[in-house]
Amino acid sequence: MGRIVFFFQEALRALKRNGAPSLAAIVTTVVTVVLLGMLIPIFQTAQGKSEEVRNQLSVQYALFPDATKAEIAATKQKLEGIPHVAEVTLIGKEQALRTLESELEDKRIVEELKFNPLPNSFEVKPDDAANLPAIQRAVFPDGPKGQPFTSIINNEFDRTFGQKKVEQVTSALKIILTVITALLVLASLMLIGNTIRLSIYTRRREVEVMRLVGATRWFIRWPFMIEGVVVGFVGGLLAILILWLGKITIVDPLSSSVSVLSAQSNSTLGFPALIAILFAASILVSTIGSGVTLRRFLKV
């Protein structure tokens, strides 16, 4: 027990004596944790939006007006038999007109129509958005301008063009955020490691003297590792405080009006879990960085 108290006293004494390097290590930890605390929710939101859009992607096939009920039923069965088709829905003319009316800002356009110009159609949803091109090729083997696999299909039309663009953008954003996150984590480890290395370098003579008088490696290492724990604890605590203030002053008030911010409340990793992970990571990285960096100075 007395040795543990001694190690803590030595760590606190070293922090006070080497204020500038210790402060640099704490600031580096704060900046790193804050950046990761902002980037991880953005990554989760982009991933959630991408999956949401992908689940809504579909393709529709307009039918000729003279198609009989028997032909429509047979075509639906053939569409359902195509590999990777999850759902086939018949959309009648009236339903299509109501959908169009709900999407238009100027309702008078629909009201002024003398007749319903929209055809019956089939909406085909894939089991995965990546399989949508394969379904389209199965319905139109010779391409969109060729002949379909059944005679009652008039043409293919895509009402999810905007959703496809969103899906492409969010997919690209996920890749970019993944790369940025990996680079940020790597840079953070290097920054924290270099800052701790600078702190230890200023006390290398002290370490060498302790080794020469017979102190064991772990006897020398423990105060430095405890110092790393303190640096990670203080830095992580300050970063979590900044993230919490940002959440209650910016994210929460705007979440009702900004859909991107509101999506974070539905993410798989909640805010308490996020700050717990970041707090534990800040302490772990600082502790390991202290122990690993000290190894070269213990070789006396």
pLDDT at residue 19, rounded to an integer: 66
User: Do residues 195 and 245 touch, judged by C-beta distance below 8 A?
Assistant: no
Tell me the DSSP string of 2-45: HHHHHHHHHHHHHHHHTHHHHHHHHHHHHHHHHHHHHHHHHHHH
Domains of the chain: 2-53+165-298 (no CATH), 58-159 (3.30.70.3040)
Residue with tokens 């980037």: 39
Tell me the DSSP string of 192-259: HHHHHHHHHHTTHHHHHHHHHTT--HHHHHHHHHHHHHHHHHHHHHHHHHHHHHHIIIIIHHHTTT-H
Digit-coded pLDDT (tens) for 245-276:
888 887 777 666 655 555 555 556 677 888 88
Residues found in the chain: 300
pLDDT above 70 for 213: yes
- Does this model's pTM top 0.85? My answer is no
Number of Cβ within a 10 Å radius of residue 60: 18
* pLDDT interval class at 3 (50, 70, 90): low
User: Do residues 174 and 47 touch, judged by C-beta distance below 8 A?
Assistant: yes
d(C-alpha 277, C-alpha 274), whole Å: 5
pLDDT at residue 35, rounded to an integer: 83
| φ, ψ dihedrals at 66, nearest 5° | -90, 10
Digit-coded pLDDT (tens) for 97-118:
787 777 677 767 766 777 777 8
Buried b (16+ CB within 10 A) or exposed e, 220-258: bbbbbbbbbbbbbbbbbbbbbebbeeebeeebeeebeee
- Name which residue leads in pLDDT, 289 or 249: 249
Strand partners, 59: 124
| Identity of the amino acid at 22 | S
pLDDT at residue 128, rounded to an integer: 82
Number of Cβ within a 10 Å radius of residue 289: 27
User: Do residues 149 and 85 touch, judged by C-beta distance below 8 A?
Assistant: no
pLDDT above 90 for 8: no
Q: Over the chain, what is the mean pLDDT?
A: 77
The end-to-end CA distance of the chain, in Å, is 29
